[in-house]
Homo-oligomer: A and B are copies of this chain.
Amino acid sequence: MDKQLEKIRHSASHVLAASIKKIYPQAKLGMGPATEDGFYYDFDNLNIKEEDLKKIENEMEKLVSQNIKFSKKYVTKQEAKKLLKNERYKLELLKELKGKISFYTSGNFSDLCKGPHVKSSKEIGAFKLLRLAGAYWRGDSKNKMLTRIYGTAFKTKKELANYLEILKQAEARNHIKLGKELDLFSFQKESPGVPFFHPKGTIIYNQLLNFLREEYKREGYKEVITPVLYDKSLWETSGHWQHFKNDMFTLKIDNRDFALKPMNCPSHCLIYKESLKSYRELPLRIADFGPLHRNEIKGALVGLTRVRKFSQDDAHIFLTENQIEQEISRLINFTNYVYKKVFNFDYSANLSTRPEKYIGDLKLWNTAEKRLKKSLVDNKIKFNMKKGEGTFYGPKIDFDFKDSFGRLYQLATIQLDFQLPQRFNLTYEGEDGKKHTPVMIHRAIFGAVERFMGILIEQYAGKFPLWLAPVQVKIVTVNDLNKKFAGEVLDKFQKSNVRTELDDRPESIGRKIRDAANLKIPIVITIGDKEVSKKKLAVREENKVSFDLDPEKFIKEVCDRISKKC
């Protein structure tokens, strides 16, 4: 975000706080920063509803139009204490500050604040309050829940209008909303942050896994099924117990510490070790769709995007140093195929290199980075260098994907790891007859399947391509005399493994077509008296209608499109 925009938003949040204090003097101030998308301010002792936002906005408008100046002053901690004597949250923040304490004043409103701010409120070109939310003080669920008001601000009215239009479109595509409307999944209070995939959502989920399983055959991956619960000793070996314990769900079994796995890598190291390995068996590509659990804080849980249980299209590749370059090229091609050819996402890559704190051999790092770079260049992939942003155990390539909406996601990742094979004491017998330590690649194409599915729902606005659609074909009858032929057609589609449903309710044909459209079913076949007498089909797709299609031929065409993932 540019500096001026940040100032505008931060200043808008002060104007918000000033307005609140004017209308609701009893409200207590929490924090009010600028964010990537706008700003917010948290208040205690403020009992308002969405419909009050307009009133608050009007008050803000008044203040902004007065061209109020923002001025900074420094006071001693003692003076600050006095100024904030009625603001218990600010006093808590003050305790952590040292030296001179800075305040910003705008009109009658003064706030403990480092700034920077705009000089005058007229620089706030356009702003809007967006919504209310509950937020724990300092993000800690042990603290009190405050009232958060979200808003946004821009340099110009046009920029704000653009942003609001995007918000509106995004809201129509919101995967949580569509997930409910299309009966794909639900959330239940009994298992916070974990989706319950309903039958239709499960079809999409399983189709995504089956698609990868088919690709895995071609790419030489071998799937395994591993436990969920592991003894602490495993996590100590992998280093998770030392570095990741707070993100894991832990429990005691037989008086020993166990954790639900947050990642699959250690289990795959155990399987690798089960038999002696020769260089001839490498690269060994082990894939796992097992459920992973991470203890995300409750307040951070969002739809399918931030969940506590998920499956990754996780694979670990064990290989020799000499195989790195070829394997990376193969992975780049695989990723390219999945995103570009199948899902039609645009993407760019990032190469993250050795950070300041790293482990392992410097020469190996340099060679590995060179190899990753060469693979990217050879495969003509645009990429940004992120110097020093690799993991401590190895360099990595991340892919940023842009959906049809222009939003960026980091999904696929390819990480080299020189460390875990050593920690698990993995070896292979080389051509020289000696024992060597293999290199390991952690890689995911979708990333978390749940999150990927959320992105797909928004990408397609719920209208899944034929091969993924939970219901691929809906047959609707015009009247009861058409039921017999409709049933025969249904049977033929189902026998060809096309997910097909029949709607022969005594409703109007218009209503039935509308219902199918609301469920975003790709192909709707209408069967009336003419179709029955001719034994032909009328087919609607993407608002186009084709008549007199031969059932057998059309089924073949549909199957063909499904298998080609069109």
Contacts and interface: CB of A to CB of B under 8 A. Distances in A.
Interface string A182-214: 010010111110111111011101100000000
Contacts of A227: 191, 194-196, 309
A234 interface: yes
Given A191-B230, A249-B253, A253-B249, A199 B222 contact: yes
A183 B275 contact: yes
Contact of A229 (B205, B217, B293, B298): B293
Contacts of A230: 190-191
Interface string A437-463: 000000000000000000000000000
* A interface: dominant SS: mixed
Candidate in A189, A191, A494 with the most chain B CB atoms within 10 angstroms: A191
Given A191-B230, A229-B249, A229-B309, A186 B274 contact: yes
A223 B224 CA distance: 22
A251 B254 contact: no
Contacts of A291: 228, 290-291
Contacts of A267: 196
A253 B259 CA distance: 13
Contact of A196 (B188, B271, B295): B271
B199 A295 contact: no
Interface string A515-558: 00000000000000000000000000000000000000000000
A223 B251 contact: no
Interface string A254-286: 100000100000010011001100000000001
Given A190-B234, A250-B251, A270-B188, A198 B224 contact: yes
A190 B228 CA distance: 11
A308 interface: yes
B223 A202 contact: yes
Contacts of A497: 217
Interface centre among A183, A188, A194, A293 (most CB of B within 10 A): A188
Interface string A282-309: 0000100011010100100000000011
A233 interface: yes
A226 interface: yes
A249 B249 contact: no
Given A249-B253, A254-B141, A271 B231 contact: no
Given A183-B275, A206-B223, A254-B298, A231 B191 contact: yes
Interface residues of A, number: 53
Contacts of A224: 196-199, 202
Given A199-B224, A224-B202, A298-B254, A229 B308 contact: yes
A533 to B, nearest CB: 30
A1 interface: no
A534 B93 CA distance: 87
Contact of A251 (B203, B226, B251): B251
Contacts of A298: 254
Contacts of A362: none
A538 to B, nearest CB: 27
A225 B197 contact: yes
A414 to B, nearest CB: 22
A141 B253 CA distance: 12
B226 A196 contact: yes
A196 B231 CA distance: 14
Nearest to A259: B251
A468 to B, nearest CB: 16
A224 B206 CA distance: 10
Most buried by B among A205, A206, A225, A228: A225
Contacts of A253: 249, 295
Nearest to A235: B190
A196 B228 contact: no
Given A186-B274, A196-B227, A250-B251, 13 more contacts: A186-B271, A191-B227, A191-B229, A191-B234, A194-B229, A196-B270, A196-B274, A197-B224, A199-B222, A203-B223, A228-B228, A228-B293, A229-B249
Interface of A: 141, 183, 186, 188-192, 194-199, 201-203, 205-206, 217, 222-231, 233-234, 249-251, 253-254, 260, 267, 270-271, 274-275, 286, 290-291, 293, 295, 298, 308-309, 494, 497
A-B residue pairs, 8 tightest by C-beta:
A199-B222, A194-B227, A251-B251, A191-B227, A197-B225, A190-B234, A190-B231, A202-B223
6 contacts: A190-B270, A191-B234, A196-B270, A203-B223, A228-B260, A249-B253
